[in-house]
Structure 1
Amino acid sequence: MSGGNSTFDKLRLIRSPSVGPVTYRQLIARFGSAAAALEALPDLARRGGSARFALAKAELVEMEIAAVASFGARHIFLDGDDYPPLLAEIDNGPACLTVKGRIELASQPSVAIVGARNASAAGCRFARGLAQDLGGQGIVVVSGLARGIDAAAHQGALSCGTIAVIAGGIDNIYPPEHAKLQAEIAERGLLIAEMPPGVEPRARHFPHRNRIIAGMALGTVVVEAVPKSGSLITARLAGEAGREVMAIPGSPLDPRSRGCNQLIREGATLVQDAGDIAELVR
């Protein structure tokens, strides 16, 4: 496999040690193509006096490409036409994503809906209805396929278009009880993973997933969240990316509302329905 813009060359460059999103951009800008950058890496390593720029093993790259294809998925790259345009704007957007489903959804206006895993029944019902209403207004719903609010948002938006960003590899089902929902999203919506196939999600992967959720969307809505939760991390990342941060207010008596109320106190926009959200992001 060769060629300046082939999947193999790009993936081998990205999987090489110490080549993250920023380095990938720099190497492509400097050398013009992944193939040219791969040729230059050994010399860069020698001049640097270390193996920092050692190349990824060709057979491992070929195995990954085969595994992704066998799952019915494919790789997309930061400098490709089908890469999510808003995600490309953030400094640390992944150099490579694995996708399965309707890739056109990634370039449509979208809003992230996130919230508590141990959400209340009312919170899940609200998130489901909110996602359905946003879909009806032509807004794609992005979330993380977690238990609680995330799952409810995906369910509400499934008929109109929803994007699930998962923390493990594209072939990993997590949590296990979402196997049917994950399969439906891969068929009717879009499933996205940053990790290579075969990777099971670990705690360290979730903040990386959260930056993709926030980076893809025009804004992030938090429905229920306890203080110091992952949902608040997603909201913070959205704010840092210059996107809208929105929250659904709740009772001070419910710990799951404290994170949302805290966001509103700190400057997030209080929203109560899809109309409020659409008005902010359009």
Structure 2
Amino acid sequence: MDRGERFDRLRLARTERVGPVAFDQLVKRFGSAGAALEALPHLARRGGADGFSIPPEHTINAELEAGEALGARLLVLGDDGFPPQLAALDPPPPVLWTLGDPGLLSKNACAVVGARIASSAGLRFARGLAAELGQAGLTVTSGMARGIDGAAHEGALPTGTVAVLAGGIDDVYPPEHDNLWGRIREGGCIVSEQAPGVRAKAHDFPRRNRIISGLSRAVVVVEAELRSGSLITARLAAEQGREVLAVPGSPLEPRAKGTNDLIRQGAALCEGAEDVLRALAAPRTLREPDGRWDGAVPDDEVDAVRDRVLALLSPTAIPRDELARGVGAPAAVVFAALVELALAGEAELLPGGMVCRS
């Protein structure tokens, strides 16, 4: 990929209302990020927007300079070094900033996640499990949060660990993990979709969790209450075709209710590294993107369905397939209309093939 296209892909990824779903469809529809950027104002007007802003070039140059000052490396979807596990997602993240060894992102990995307020037994188990998985040749991924995440990183530091952050690669959260962040930078890899300097907000954590599971062939949940971000990671892993394992616990322990429920729903039981290795030994095919949603379509076909698409949307998310059946039009035409509505702020395109009204 030439330098200009890489620059345009970063600029497209940073454009208002262009998330991973819209990015993927726009690049496929127009053949390049540059062509998609040229088409954006027209598409937004067709969707009903009065105006549409694209980040100026100096903003993107400032991001690149900030990354360079940190010693970070930018990976753009389509680069040779882009992690193949992430590229297989539907949709993949458009860009990644990395600090440390980006080669770890292309190795077989297992995520170890769990409660922030973890028990001492849970912390000890996560640290030991991560160390054993690392010794078995797996890279351990997690989110550098308090509790189980931090313990997993500590256990895997000698063999290589990947920390996925919700903010920029320099957004150390929690602050007491500053030393851990530095050690991962030296002996592992720190990853973020966000620009350097960006501080994490609540809505950024599900996207972070999706990258944690997307980088991994399996996800192990050590401790989790019933309403937990770790369970979101497990759900995303299942949607992505990854193995999901959970550590059982006492029914009297609130931090075991989430993991016990995962086992009840079909997650594999994990009592040690051998359970993870056994699960990974079974062949499993990752879910491939559905090509029916790709391709360019004539504007008049999109015009004919746009109002019907908008009328069928509600704040409750529904599968795109269900929407296309309701509209009674080809999937590619419905998706083109959805992208225009998303650019106009009327619709929201969600990972996992879901869509809702904004």
TM-score when scaled to structure 1? 0.94
Task: Name the CA distance, whole Å, in 2 between partners of 1:124 and 1:81.
Answer: 37
The reply to whether residue 192 of structure 1 matches residue 191 of structure 2 is yes
Task: Name the CA distance, whole Å, in 1 between partners of 2:44 and 2:153.
Answer: 45
What residue is the counterpart of 2:5 in the other structure? Answer: 5
Query: What's the offset of the Cα at 1:85?
Result: 1.3
Task: Name the CA distance, whole Å, in 1 between partners of 2:125 and 2:183.
Answer: 21
Identity of aligned residues (%): 54
What residue is the counterpart of 2:49 in the other structure? Answer: 50
Between stretches 146-155 and 48-57, larger displacement belongs to 48-57
Q: Give SS of 1:278's match.
A: helix
What residue is the counterpart of 2:155 in the other structure? Answer: 156
**Residues 90-109 of structure 1 aligned to structure 2 (within 5 Å):** 90-109=89-108
Query: In structure 2, what residue type is equivalent to 1:192?
Result: V
What residue is the counterpart of 1:146 in the other structure? Answer: 145
Q: Gapped runs of 5+ residues in structure 1?
A: none
**Residues 1-282 of structure 1 aligned to structure 2 (within 5 Å):** 3-6=3-6, 8-45=7-44, 50=49, 54-282=53-281
Task: Name the CA distance, whole Å, in 2 between partners of 1:88 and 1:50.
Answer: 31
Task: Name the CA distance, whole Å, in 1 between partners of 2:50 and 2:159.
Answer: 48
Query: What's the offset of the Cα at 1:93?
Result: 2.7
Task: Name the CA distance, whole Å, in 1 between partners of 2:146 and 2:208.
Answer: 15
What residue is the counterpart of 2:325 in the other structure? Answer: none
After superposition, what is the alpha-carbon deviation per residue over 1:195-224, rounded to whole angstroms, capped at 9, x for unaligned? Answer: 222221222211111111111111110111
Task: Name the CA distance, whole Å, in 2 between partners of 1:136 and 1:190.
Answer: 17
**Which runs of 4 or more aligned residues in structure 1 lie more than 6 Å from their structure 2 counterparts after TM superposition?**
none
Task: Name the CA distance, whole Å, in 1 between partners of 2:203 and 2:133.
Answer: 31
Q: Give SS of 2:5's match.
A: coil
Task: Name the CA distance, whole Å, in 2 between partners of 1:52 and 1:278.
Answer: 52
RMSD (Å) for aligned C-alpha atoms = 1.7
Whether contact under 8 Å (1:4, 1:33) holds in the other structure is no
Whether contact under 8 Å (1:16, 1:53) holds in the other structure is no
Task: Decide whether aligned partners of structure 1 residues 222 and 170 sit closer, same or farther in structure 2, where only a CA change above 3 A counts.
Answer: same
Query: In structure 1, what residue type is equivalent to 2:139?
Result: V
Query: What's the offset of the Cα at 1:53?
Result: 5.1
What residue is the counterpart of 2:340 in the other structure? Answer: none
Query: In structure 2, what residue type is equivalent to 1:136?
Result: Q
Tell which structure's C-alpha radius of gyration is larger.
2
Between stretches 22-31 and 185-194, larger displacement belongs to 22-31
Query: In structure 1, what residue type is equivalent to 2:5?
Result: N
Task: Name the CA distance, whole Å, in 1 between partners of 2:4 and 2:35.
Answer: 7
Whether contact under 8 Å (1:18, 1:53) holds in the other structure is no
Task: Name the CA distance, whole Å, in 1 between partners of 2:3 and 2:258.
Answer: 50
Query: What's the offset of the Cα at 1:31?
Result: 2.7
Query: What's the offset of the Cα at 1:259?
Result: 1.0
Query: What's the offset of the Cα at 1:66?
Result: 0.7
Query: In structure 2, what residue type is equivalent to 1:100?
Result: L
Whether contact under 8 Å (2:24, 2:91) holds in the other structure is no
What residue is the counterpart of 2:310 in the other structure? Answer: none
Query: What's the offset of the Cα at 1:128?
Result: 0.6
Q: Gapped runs of 5+ residues in structure 2?
A: 282-358
Between stretches 142-151 and 21-30, larger displacement belongs to 21-30
